[in-house]
Amino acid sequence: MFICPGCLKLTINKHVRVIWKIASFNHPRRNVNVTRHGNRFFSSSSASYAKAGDEIDLAKFSPANIRNFSIIAHVDHGKSTLADRLLEITGTIPKNAGNQQVLDTLQVEKERGITVKAQTASLFHVYKGQTYLLNLIDTPGHVDFNYEVSRSLETCQGVVLLVDANQGVQAQTMANFFLAFERNLTVIPCLNKIDLYNAKPEMVLEQLNNVFDIDPDDVQKISAKVGTGVEDLLTTIIEKIPPPQGDRNKPLKCLVFDSQYDQYRGAVGNVLVIDGSVKKGDKIMSLFSKKSYEVQGTGILQPNEKLVNVLYAGQVGYIHANIKKISDFQVGDTFCHQKSPVEPLPGFKPAVSMVFAGIFPSDQSKLPVLKAAITKLTLNDSSVSVNIENSAAIGQGWRLGFLGMLHMDVFCQRLEQEFGASVVITAPNVHYKVRIKGKKNIKSYGDEVVDVLNPCKLPDLSIIEEFMEPMITATIIIPDQYLITVLSLCHARRGEPQEQTYIDQHRMVIRCIFPLNEVLVDFFDELKSITSGYASFDYEDNGYRQSELVKLEFLINKLPVEEMTMICHISKSKMRGKEVCARLKELIPRQMTYVTIQAIIGSTIIAREDIKPIKKDVLAKCYGGDVTRKNKLLNKQADYLKKLRQVGTVKIPKDTFINVLRKK
Ligand code: GTP
């Protein structure tokens, strides 16, 4: 008994017994030629291309035999699992390797079980006697990483829209569908997890029809986990998604849609060749910097790198050209042959940062290490905006802009895990704007409207005419029994519900305008908890609106803690001040002396907490002669103290400022 590579079923039927002996056969029900390699079987496509020893020749793949597509869906609807199955069926990875989510390559992705980075894989598949090159991009599902999805879609002609047969249409299903729809991409709707006992395919088909006008007969039904229907999906991808347009005889034009830094080769760019071809030794030029380089290597991702001689029009792969300066291989740049300049492509819309936070090294002597780490990581994640920041209290650092709180969390985790950088993160805030009174009289402000990325840098209140705060339009999907509770949460967060519509008999979509600041940190957690986990949430930018804001500052033993300074709505300032003081009291360890925490607006104290001193010395128990143990403890304590932020005589753990804002 084993899994037949032709029909992917655990089987001992007749045709399989025969091929066990002859090691090569035509599958009776599918037009697949299967070959035996050692003790593994591959379809003929995988045998001849994916397992080729040296460089792969892609000359045979004209655009007509190429399909570029992405898998898009809400979080956890099974994108990476489907990618695993597609890689297995096409022989790109061994079968029966389990659900490893091989396209989630980062440590942070494995640990958190989420995709944060779009990942490309080139697959070869035989259909009706022809071999196709399928370039698949697995995308993240969380709203914070929508920019990855929108960039990936620029390189595709179609998408597989996965919907969980149990959960149905969710907020990111809608957001991602409309991203594909706006770009006129072919959408292959697909119901996943049909193997689940509590799957409700009929309900989800009704939702797809109501929300996107998708005919139930057009929806593929699969189980990415078990493999059911995945081979038919491959056939649909080939039949329905149009091939890329491009001409390999035209001058080279290629789009950099992603890049990463390699210690030895410098910047490595993931590219889509629009026209022409590119190979090792070619002299290429960036249309952004106008600098020229010699190509050192070209390849495709499977998902590991595989060398190819030449990348041709319509194909997706990587190139490296000894580009040492990271800023010279920008995502969105167009490259051409040095001697044949072409019109640059429009590139990508820049990502709009939603959350800003100061990032400082825990130890100022490690500033160069953190600088190198941030530069390399931002090449890999072009959606992070970077501004240098100096703080009298904390030292030199950066104010980074992120697409959301999860994005910020993941970035900081990667800084620590991949580059060993230890950082202090300030309280995150949104991008406020202030209008200055009669700007001509105020020399230091050139513009009438000033951007405030850092609350500490807010201009003096006496010269501010008005505050403006960023707004968002949120899409919330919930079972209707929670409507009242959810609406009261929206109200508490200064939300203005716009419309409520049913997507099936029991689930509804609420569209609501919120100040971004109100949903930034813990809104989604609260929404999930009041709806027993059934709500989903997505948002998009909705410009700026005038607002009554105040600057809330915190003092520890009368010294200001810059990291905690925040701007908040006047109606919430007292409550916020009290909450933060109470939380700081919990998080700051007791010290040798009294610690007083105060929240102030201007010169008015609005909240106060005190921390009593500790009485005992931590080393007091180490009396006697155990010098080694005492030294060990002293070293441990010294290491710990290095990581603390000192405000006057008070020592505070470095992650206190961000933990203050989180739910307990
Ligand atoms: P993000 O990248 O975080 O958005 O998740 P994803 O959409 O890539 O989902 P992923 O592939 O990580 O799957 C999420 C969970 O659903 C995993 O536990 C999978 O094993 C499970 N899963 C995926 N497909 C199926 C399926 O067809 N049936 C069942 N029963 N479980 C599935």
For every residue of 238-307, DSSP letters joined together read HHHSPPPP--TTSPPEEEEEEEEEETTTEEEEEEEEEESEEETT-EEEETTT--EEE--EEEEESSSEEE
226 CA to centre of ligand 1 in angstroms = 11
Q: Which are the contacts of 488, defined by CB distance < 8 A and separation ≥ 6?
A: none
- DSSP string over 565-630: -EEEEGGGHHHHHHHHHHHHHHHSPP-SS-EEEEEEETTEEEEEEEEPPP-S-TTTT--TT-HHHH
pLDDT at 538: 85
Q: Do domains 63-240 and 355-425 have the same CATH topology?
A: no
Lowest mean per-residue pLDDT among 236-245, 385-394, 442-451, 553-562: 442-451
Counting from 1 in the atom list of ligand 1, the atom nearest the Cα of 75 is 4
SS3 462: helix
Helices (H), 121-244: 146-153, 171-182, 201-212, 230-240
132-155 per-position pLDDT tens digit: 999 998 888 777 777 778 888 888
526 CA to centre of ligand 1 in angstroms = 24
Q: For strand 253-262 and strand 334-337, is the pairing parallel, antiparallel, or unpaired?
A: antiparallel
Q: 2 is written with which tokens?
A: 């084993």
In degrees, to the nearest 5, what angle opens at C-alpha 463 toward C-alphas 390 and 569?
75
- Residues 70/258, Cβ–Cβ less than 8 Å: no
pLDDT at 435: 87
Q: Where does 253-337 sit in CATH, by number? A: 2.40.30.10
Quickly tell me which residue has 């998080």 as its tokens. Answer: 587
Calpha distance 402→408 (Å, rounded) = 6
60-95 per-position pLDDT tens digit: 888 999 999 999 998 889 888 898 889 888 888 777
Give the CA distances from residue 395 to residues 294, 361, 424, 560, in Å, rounded to whole numbers and listed in that order.
Answer: 41, 9, 11, 15
SS3 342: coil
Residue 192 Cβ < 6 Å to ligand 1: yes
DSSP element (H, E) containing 483: helix 483-492
Q: Give me the percent of the chain exceeding a pLDDT of 90.
A: 25
Residue 227 Cβ < 6 Å to ligand 1: no
Residue 126: beta bridge partners?
131
Residue 166 Cβ < 6 Å to ligand 1: no
pLDDT at 154: 87
Residue nearest to atom 13 of ligand 1 (CA): 78
Could you tell which of 136, 225, 230, 406 is best to mutate to test the pocket of ligand 1, judged by most ligand atoms within 8 Å of the CB?
Answer: 225
Counting from 1 in the atom list of ligand 1, the atom nearest the Cα of 81 is 11
- Residues 467/547, Cβ–Cβ less than 8 Å: yes
225 CA to centre of ligand 1 in angstroms = 8
Calpha distance 277→177 (Å, rounded) = 32
Calpha distance 80→139 (Å, rounded) = 8
Query: In 3D, which of 566, 564, 568 has the Cα closest to residue 547?
Result: 568
pLDDT at 88: 87
Bigger pLDDT: 581 vs 100? 581
652 CA to centre of ligand 1 in angstroms = 40
Counting from 1 in the atom list of ligand 1, the atom nearest the Cα of 196 is 30
DSSP element (H, E) containing 450: strand 449-452
Q: Is the pLDDT of residue 164 over 90?
A: yes
Residue nearest to atom 28 of ligand 1 (CA): 193
Tell me whether residue 218 is exposed, middle or buried, using C-beta atoms within 10 angstroms of its C-beta: 0 to 12, 13 to 18, 19 or more: middle
Residue 514 backbone dihedrals phi, psi, to 5 degrees: -130, 155
Residue 146 Cβ < 6 Å to ligand 1: no
473 CA to centre of ligand 1 in angstroms = 28
**DSSP 3-state helix, strand, coil percentages of the chain (rounded to 5)?**
30, 35, 35
Bigger pLDDT: 441 vs 554? 554
Quickly tell me which residue has 């339009």 as its tokens. Answer: 473
Q: Is the pLDDT of residue 33 over 60?
A: no
Q: Which are the contacts of 359, defined by CB distance < 8 A and separation ≥ 6?
A: 370, 374, 397, 398, 399, 400, 412, 415, 423, 424, 425, 426
Counting from 1 in the atom list of ligand 1, the atom nearest the Cα of 138 is 8
Residue 68 Cβ < 6 Å to ligand 1: no
512-542 per-position pLDDT tens digit: 999 998 888 778 888 888 888 888 888 888 8
DSSP element (H, E) containing 553: strand 549-556
pLDDT at 638: 62
- Residues 292/283, Cβ–Cβ less than 8 Å: yes
Return the DSSP state at 428. P
Tell me whether residue 167 is exposed, middle or buried, using C-beta atoms within 10 angstroms of its C-beta: 0 to 12, 13 to 18, 19 or more: buried
- Residues 403/339, Cβ–Cβ less than 8 Å: no
SS3 254: strand
Q: For strand 158-164 and strand 186-192, is the pairing parallel, antiparallel, or unpaired?
A: parallel
110-124 per-position pLDDT tens digit: 676 667 677 888 999
pLDDT at 662: 56
415 CA to centre of ligand 1 in angstroms = 27
CATH number assigned to the domain with residue range 63-240, chosen from the 4 options 3.40.50.2300, 3.40.50.1980, 3.40.50.150, 3.40.50.300: 3.40.50.300
Q: For strand 266-275 and strand 316-320, is the pairing parallel, antiparallel, or unpaired?
A: antiparallel
Crossing angle of helices 230-240/79-89, nearest 10°?
Answer: 90
Could you tell which of 8, 71, 74, 76 is best to mutate to test the pocket of ligand 1, judged by most ligand atoms within 8 Å of the CB?
Answer: 76
Residue 229 Cβ < 6 Å to ligand 1: no
Let me know if domain 355-425 sits in CATH 3.30.460.10.
no
465 CA to centre of ligand 1 in angstroms = 51
Could you tell which of 80, 108, 166 is best to mutate to test the pocket of ligand 1, judged by most ligand atoms within 8 Å of the CB?
Answer: 80
Residue 77 Cβ < 6 Å to ligand 1: yes
Pick left, alpha or beta for residue 39 (phi over 0 → left; psi -120 to 50 → alpha; otherwise beta).
alpha
Tell me the CA end-to-end span of the chain in Å, nearest whole number: 52
| Exposure letters 315-326 (e unless 16+ CB within 10 A, then b) | bbbbbbbebeeb
- Residues 83/102, Cβ–Cβ less than 8 Å: yes
Q: 499 is written with which tokens?
A: 């419309």
Residue 271: beta bridge partners?
256, 317
Residue nearest to atom 14 of ligand 1 (CA): 76
Bigger pLDDT: 332 vs 350? 332
pLDDT at 317: 92
Q: 85 is written with which tokens?
A: 């199955």
Give the CA distances from residue 232 to residues 134, 200, 315, 393, 506, in Å, rounded to whole numbers and listed in that order.
Answer: 15, 21, 23, 61, 32
96 CA to centre of ligand 1 in angstroms = 16
Quickly tell me which residue has 């990855």 as its tokens. Answer: 148
Residue 78 Cβ < 6 Å to ligand 1: yes
Residue 285 Cβ < 6 Å to ligand 1: no
Counting from 1 in the atom list of ligand 1, the atom nearest the Cα of 83 is 11
Quickly tell me which residue has 């890689």 as its tokens. Answer: 87
Lowest mean per-residue pLDDT among 2-6, 58-62, 108-112, 571-575: 2-6
599-643 per-position pLDDT tens digit: 999 888 999 988 887 765 555 555 556 677 767 766 766 665 555
Residue 201 Cβ < 6 Å to ligand 1: no
Q: Is the pLDDT of residue 17 over 80?
A: no
Q: Is the peptide bond before 28 cis (omega within 30 degrees of 0)?
A: no
Residue 332 Cβ < 6 Å to ligand 1: no
Q: Is the pLDDT of residue 486 over 90?
A: yes
Q: 608 is written with which tokens?
A: 């106060």
368-406 per-position pLDDT tens digit: 888 888 888 887 777 888 888 877 666 788 889 888 888
Could you tell which of 70, 71, 75, 81 is best to mutate to test the pocket of ligand 1, judged by most ligand atoms within 8 Å of the CB?
Answer: 81
- Maximum distance among all alpha carbons in the chain? 91
User: Class assignment of domain 550-659?
Assistant: alpha beta
Residue 225 Cβ < 6 Å to ligand 1: yes
324 CA to centre of ligand 1 in angstroms = 38
Return the DSSP state at 340. B
Calpha distance 55→58 (Å, rounded) = 9
Residue 224 Cβ < 6 Å to ligand 1: yes
Strands (E), 94-222: 119-127, 130-138, 158-164, 186-192, 220-221
User: Class assignment of domain 432-547?
Assistant: alpha beta
Report the length, in residues, of the chain: 664
Bigger pLDDT: 7 vs 168? 168
- Residues 607/581, Cβ–Cβ less than 8 Å: yes
184-240 per-position pLDDT tens digit: 999 999 999 999 998 999 999 999 998 888 999 999 999 998 889 999 999 999 999
Residue 330 Cβ < 6 Å to ligand 1: no
In the chain, what are the domain boundaries?
A: 2-51, 63-240, 253-337, 355-425, 432-547, 550-659
pLDDT at 41: 34
Q: Which of 116-125, 294-303, 319-328, 349-358 has the highest mean predicted lDDT (pLDDT)?
A: 294-303
Residue 99 Cβ < 6 Å to ligand 1: yes
Average pLDDT over the chain, rounded to an integer: 80
